């Protein structure tokens, strides 16, 4: 396994963790509805710290190792259109995911409501577009 | 001299199905395993029944469909990239982990479904089936991590 493959493995593994965080947040949304938690579903929110951890570690891992990969590979540059698009999508996903995580932490503590379904959708769509961008690499 | 290595455009859509399906499936497995682990630890019977039911539904309605998307994408890619002769080792790792993973996923779903049904009838009842299901899912996650390593590093 050379350096490039090691970086790619960690980058992709981080992406899996981030998507796992998204799936867990969508699972919470399904279980609790977009409003207050339904009776009997509150216990599921004990998994919220795990989801937030996956999202944070995965998100940081994808951007750090993704940028490292772009620098490492001679055929890619940080100013390539698809790399810039990925960074913009990452920022959008992070902003939405951050709000979703804060919402579930507040709901779990009983101090607030979860983020709206639209914020969940924005996070999920941004992550899906990121995957499409990574595979199609428009302009590469 | 740098050489630009790009895969054919016709591989991109099946690759999205394969990778996207795999990512969603792993997320579903973590969510279901987490719910089942919480169910095993809770001391409130109604919570245990609710969490087990959620874990079962996640497996049935999300993990299995996303597994199928991942597997269809994989087979589609395989038909484009290989002809069945002299497949590299990483392809073999992918087949072994996905096929054995399907078996474990089906067994885990059935066991969790039985546990959910029993707890639905009598939440006070103690059952180890949900715990076995969670253990199988944990095993699946380890094997899929190995598959991710094989798919990205492509050992020959």
Whose structure tokens read 């987490």? Answer: B34
CB B39 within 8 A of CB B130: yes
A9 contact B CB<8A: yes
Instruction: Give, to the nearest 10 degrees, the angle between helix A3-32 and helix B45-58.
Output: 120
Summarised one tens digit per residue, pLDDT across range A29-45 is: 998 875 555 544 578 99
Q: Which ipTM did the prediction report?
A: 0.92
Do residue A135 and residue B19 have CB atoms under 8 angstroms apart?
Answer: yes
- CA angle A73/A62/A31 to nearest 5° reads 155
Contacts of residue A62 in chain B, CB cutoff 8 Å?
none
- Give the nearest chain B residue to A127 (CA atoms): B20
Q: Which of A1, A41, A135 sits opposite B15 (nearest CB)?
A: A135
Whose structure tokens read 């983020």? Answer: A115
Summarised one tens digit per residue, pLDDT across range B93-108 is: 999 999 999 999 999 9
Summarised one tens digit per residue, pLDDT across range B34-83 is: 999 999 988 888 889 999 999 999 999 999 999 999 999 999 999 988 87
* Cα-trace Rg, chain A: 17
CB A14 within 8 A of CB A63: no
Residue B5 has pLDDT above 60, yes or no: no
- What pTM value is reported for the model? 0.93
The predicted pLDDT at position A35 comes to: 52
Do residue B34 and residue A47 have CB atoms under 8 angstroms apart?
Answer: yes
Do residue A75 and residue B3 have CB atoms under 8 angstroms apart?
Answer: yes
Query: Which of B6, B23, B123 best probes binding to A when mutated, by most A CB atoms within 10 angstroms?
Result: B23
Share above pLDDT 90 across residues of chain B, in percent, rounded to a whole number: 70
Q: Which of A5, A21, A46 sits opposite B152 (nearest CB)?
A: A5
Do residue A24 and residue B31 have CB atoms under 8 angstroms apart?
Answer: yes
């Amino acid at each position: 396994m050379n350096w490039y493959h090691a970086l790619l493995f960690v980058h992709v593994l981080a992406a899996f963790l981030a998507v796992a965080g998204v799936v867990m947040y969508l699972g919470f949304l399904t279980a609790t509805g977009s409003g207050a938690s339904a009776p009997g579903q509150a216990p599921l929110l004990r998994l919220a710290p795990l989801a937030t951890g996956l999202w944070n570690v995965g998100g940081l891992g994808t951007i750090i190792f993704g940028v490292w990969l772009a620098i490492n590979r001679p055929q890619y540059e940080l100013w390539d259109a698809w790399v810039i698009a990925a960074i913009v999508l990452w920022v959008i996903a992070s902003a939405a995911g951050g709000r979703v995580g804060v919402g579930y932490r507040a709901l779990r503590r009983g101090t607030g409501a979860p983020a709206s379904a639209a914020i969940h959708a924005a996070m999920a769509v941004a992550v899906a577009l990121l995957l499409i961008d990574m595979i199609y690499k428009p302009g590469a | 001299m740098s050489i630009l290595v790009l895969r054919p455009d016709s591989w991109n859509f099946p690759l999205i199905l394969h990778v996207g399906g795999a990512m969603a499936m792993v997320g579903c497995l973590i969510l279901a395993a987490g719910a089942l682990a919480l169910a095993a630890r809770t001391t409130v019977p109604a919570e245990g029944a609710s969490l087990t039911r959620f874990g079962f539904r996640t497996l049935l309605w999300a993990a299995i469909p996303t597994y199928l998307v991942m597997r269809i994408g994989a087979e589609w890619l395989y038909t484009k990239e290989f002809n069945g002769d002299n497949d590299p080792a990483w392809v073999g790792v992918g087949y072994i982990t996905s096929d054995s993973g399907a078996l474990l996923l089906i067994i885990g779903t059935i066991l969790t479904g039985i546990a959910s049904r029993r707890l639905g009838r009598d939440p006070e009842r103690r059952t180890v089936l949900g715990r076995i299901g969670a253990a199988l899912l944990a095993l699946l996650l380890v094997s899929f991590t190995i598959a991710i390593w094989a798919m990205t590093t492509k050992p020959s």
